[in-house]
Amino acid sequence: MVSSDSAVRLVFPILSCYIANYPEQCLVTCSKYGTCVKCKAKAMELGDEQSKEARTQSWTESILRKAEALGGQNSATFYNHCMSHEVAGGVPKPFWVDFPLCDINHAITPDVLHQLYQGVFKHLIGWCQRILTPQQLDEQIRCLPPAYGVCRFKNGFSALSQISGPERKNMAKIFLGCLIGSIPSKGIAAITALLDFIYIAQYTSHNTETLGYLEDSLERQEFAMTSISQNFIPFSITLNPSSSLGLQTITTQKHLSVCIYSCLKKVTGNT
């Protein structure tokens, strides 16, 4: 590599952070789509209270090697063996295999848009629509008075299709206000904690204090959800995260603060 002083140097770049949206994260880490790229949680186990074993690069490589030994890189046996272990079978030799000091799963950074807004927040809206019905929620939204800097959804949320990232963010700004008085206080507490988490995660810089805020919002959310599961029987709502509540990407929240802290240790400057 040629440096600014025209000297040619031999360098060994180290991959420490990889920024990508969720579909690309699955492709890069060879993770089965719908699973967690950070741990070995299966699609139906996302949102479980118990933490799963961390997914590592060496573990993924061992699955790929065993699948290749069973039937070759391009065979159906290779693909089926990988998928049975929650590993994508479409990339027989990932680009990071020979990278020094690299763990691709550890290098993946959070994706706020796809995992929090298009994931957690999207399912949160669906959960509230089950309690209020989409028509009632739309009516609540239409009753909100206009405010400076806030988008007014005159037809509610149910009329929207192919919702973009900026629209999701505008929806989050008004969401809590249209629920006050419509759902029980424990539900409001859970939604408040979840929105706190989303906004704190987007701080331009973090330290141990702000990470404490992040952990606190997650703990408040989990406590409120536990209370909801005991008191929402009249609404016929069960809080299995893989079915009724639908917060399949809540596992992302549990990994996010750890990932931010890890990046703080890796990067000493502002990129």
| Domain limits, the chain | 22-108, 113-268
What per-residue confidence (pLDDT) applies to 245?
A: 42
pLDDT tens readout for residues 157-174: 988 888 888 899 999 999
What pLDDT digit, counting tens, does each position of 62-107 carry? 999 999 888 777 788 899 999 999 999 888 889 998 888 888 988 8
* Separation of alpha carbons 39 and 54, rounded Å: 4
More confident position, 252 or 259: 259
**Rounded distance between C-alpha atoms, residue 179 and residue 132, angstroms:** 9
Q: What pLDDT, on the 0 to 100 scale, is given for residue 172?
A: 92
Confidence category of residue 229, pLDDT binned at 50, 70, 90: low
DSSP three-state, residue 270: coil
The mean pLDDT value for 248-270 works out to 59
Q: Report the pLDDT averaged over residues 195-218.
A: 86
Residue 242 is predicted with a pLDDT of: 42
In the block, tokens 């295999």 appear at 97
Contact 73, 2 (CB under 8 A): no
Mean pLDDT lowest among 22-26, 48-52, 233-237: 233-237
Closest CA to 177 of 148, 201, 136, 143: 143
pTM for this model (two decimals): 0.73
pLDDT at 266 over 60: no
Contact 123, 245 (CB under 8 A): yes
28 pLDDT higher than 90: yes
Give the Cα separation of 75 and 265 in Å (integer). Answer: 42
CB burial string 104-119: b at 16+ within 10 A, e below: bbbbbebbbbbbbbbb
